[in-house]
Amino acid sequence: MAAQVWAGQPFLWRLEAGAGKPSYLFGSIHVPSPAVTNLAPSVCQALAASDAVYCELPFDAATMMAIMRGSMSAKVPLSRALPPDLYARAEAELKRVVPSMRLASMETTEIWALASTLALLEYQVKYPMVPPLDLVLFQRGQVLGKETGGIETAQEQLDAMNAFTHDEQVAMLKAMLDDADALRKRGEDPVKRLLDAYLKGDTEAIDREVNRSYETCPPTLRQRFETLLLTERNRRMAERIAQRMRAAPDKGTFFVVGALHGLGRGSVIELLGSSGVKVTRVP
């Protein structure tokens, strides 16, 4: 994996509002891999030309502590919250990647946080020294002496995840395990499939991969996922990006959001365009 590099056009857009200084929107991927932290030249140039770096969240100690507390403060322990067969499957997946770990050590973890952890655990273990791409960009902004901040708050992101009901979170975990098991039987890695599409800058390939991952998910849960994690958050992020650009037209900001927020109908990109911001994908 370390040999992988950008093979196509990065998910990078130039944003212009009137005669102000251009800003940029970069679509990241939340997979710890040296392949994604090896930034494309155009991304480095856009970052250097900007006066500020704003990620989905600010990576300050208070925000990171709030996210950690919020994801590990379940009122019902996993051993009681999950059906016995699903608990056993989750523990088996955990032990497959880290044989010494037991689910009992994660009893207060929210179900949605467990699903997210298991989905990326293999890459976190494989590349323990590689930070997430968002953090890399945030820290690089700090090193370069740029203003840094967040588009959303920790509580807003936690509220979005906690809006899923208990049954929806159980279904979310089951769908993730079903998808991983199905691909593994075919000798495939679900994260690598998405990572490959991302590195190619292929919007259609990412769309196909996302649709494929929903095959094990109930349609009602997919609708809830798209509403809570994409539609509502896209609207909030687009509004705040546009507000910042118009409030400080002499400053260019390098905005970083998950790539899925920049793709398709109702995306941050589409919403910015409809609000009067000129959006151009950087070649």
CA quadruple 129, 131, 133, 138: dihedral positive or negative?
A: negative
Q: How many angstroms separate the Cα of 56 from the Cα of each of 13, 66, 181, 190? A: 16, 14, 31, 24
Specify whether the CB–CB gap between 263 and 203 falls below 8 A: yes
pLDDT in tens, the chain (283 residues): 334 445 578 999 999 998 889 999 999 998 888 989 989 999 999 999 999 999 999 999 999 999 999 999 999 999 999 999 999 999 999 999 999 999 999 999 999 999 999 999 999 999 999 999 999 999 999 999 999 999 999 999 999 999 999 999 999 999 999 999 999 999 988 888 889 899 988 888 888 888 888 888 899 999 999 999 999 999 999 999 999 999 999 999 999 999 999 988 899 999 999 999 999 999 8
Question: Nearest-CA neighbor of 30 among 110, 107, 116?
Answer: 116
Q: Does pTM top 0.75 for this prediction?
A: yes
